Amino acid sequence: MTAMHRMTLAELVGGLSAGDFSSSELTRHFLDRIAAHDAQLNSFITVTEEAAMAAARKADEARAAGNAGPLAGIPLAQKDIFNTKGVRTSCGSRMLDNYIAPYDARVIEGFNDAGAVMLGKTNMDEFAMGSSNETSWYGAVKNPWDTERVPGGSSGGSAAAVAARLAPAATGTDTGGSIRQPAALCGITGLKPTYGRVSRWGMIAFASSLDQAGPMAPSAEDCALLLQAMAGFDERDSTCMNEPVDDYSAGLTQPIDGLKIGLPKEYFTEGLDSAVEARVREALKHYESLGAELVEITLPNSHLSAPAYYVVAPAECSSNLSRFDGVRFGHRCDNPKDLEDMYCRSRGEGFGDEVKRRILVGAYALSAGYYDAYYLKAQQIRRLISNDFAEAFKQVDVIMGPTTPTPAFRLGEKADDPISMYLSDIYTIAVNLAGLPGMSVPVGTVDDLPVGLHIVGNYWSEARLLNIAHRLQMDTDWHKQIPEAFA
């Protein structure tokens, strides 16, 4: 039998159903892999071994009794941004290093209801602010394809854990590309759903109008299984939309002949690595061979997406993070002399440099006299960007291009250059500003480092995106590749 960690999530579901192995055996296998390999990667903040084995035994009992959920006994990793009852939920920050969540986020509830087993909580950029997973209080995560390179961020811990098969799949969150960019750099599949498709209740907020949770796994087929447990209306989240939830696995193998693929001319210009472009164009040719049509389009305001995002996101983060003051929960400084000293030192000690940078930018953009010039103007640009996509989708069914301009860069390479770091999300940010669904699928390597193809759809088209990605993965095996050191 194929080693369990080399099997896809769909294959593991089948193996459990057929009785080829138990959830206890499967969970122990992955816990042992975490113990053996994670010291090289630093992909986990917390490993919940005892609770995982208890949940696995419970899943085995449920399966034996004939009342197993769709993911019963499947071990998963959860990004440490989701509240998990009784477990430290740190958001990669010293500020929440001592915070034990008193309740489960809606995403966690969904996986619990489906019978999944939580292996632990994955490392991340502090409060999801970063593109390299170097801003975590718990240290940088390493890319399993080359441990001297970044895995991407902010969901880099989840991406690295899945790529090295320390977990069959994981959750991530995406504010400006934080699922898709690390998925591309680590050679896995990652999906950011339409804004409002997955409840944000219990997910610690960075930028409330942009944040969205989504699945990260080797394949589109696996992501379909995960999204089924995550999607759905939640009245506790005022931004969650009451839209019907598709059967995401049902149409995976549908033919795509006649599909119109838009190629924005702005995405294939200076700044895109030529070897990355070559891998992307090879994938596009494969889609043509499946009956798709390539159409050049334009997204004329796309060059404004990064400056608009880096006003909107910091403004919302400065508001959201004001709650972390050392009073009710989280880090509190020692021996404050008065209330003001406690506020200042608790926040100064609890937050890292990148978080402080964004809080300051956001507070400035929202301050009296600057709100109209910065935040309001950025929101107006956001509308122009949304309109560009709306016009494009009158001509094409989906939009494709590179997920990132280059393969994974070296640890520390951009640490002192925030602007260069921000531009690593240049192709993904606009999708969040517009609230659209997007995903990254692996389409080859450059110098043995993975490259991702970015697929963007219209609102609520997750099932179609998964179908389009799966059709490519039926004919290619990039999503099955595992870094040699972890095979």
Round to whole Å and give the CA distance between 402 and 454. 5
Ranges under pLDDT 70 in the chain = 1
Tell me the whole-structure pTM to 2 decimals.
Answer: 0.97
Q: How far apart are CA 408 and CA 100, in angstroms?
A: 33
- Buried-exposed string 13-42: b where 16+ CB fall within 10 A, e elsewhere: bebbeeeebbbbebbbebbebbeebbeebb
pLDDT in tens, 440-487: 999 999 999 999 999 999 999 999 999 999 999 999 999 999 999 999
What three-state secondary structure class fits 333?
coil
From the number of C-beta atoms within 10 Å of its C-beta (0-12, 13-18, 19+), residue 457 rates as buried
The secondary structure of residue 96, as a DSSP letter, is: G
Classify burial at 253, counting beta carbons within 10 Å of its beta carbon; exposed 0-12, middle 13-18, buried 19 or more: exposed
Residue 196: CB atoms within 10 A of its CB come to 19
Measured distance CA(187)–CA(161) in Å, rounded: 11
- Summary mean pLDDT of the chain: 96
Q: How far is 174 from 127, CA to CA, in rounded Å?
A: 12
Query: Which active-site residues does the annotation give?
Result: 79, 154, 178
Using alpha carbons, select from 429, 454, 451 the residue that is nearest to residue 439: 454
Q: Tell me, what DSSP letter sits at residue 128?
A: G
- In this predicted structure, what is the pLDDT of residue 1? 56
**191-232 confidence digits (pLDDT tens):** 999 999 999 999 999 999 999 999 999 999 999 999 999 999
Domains of the chain: 4-259+396-486 (3.90.1300.10)
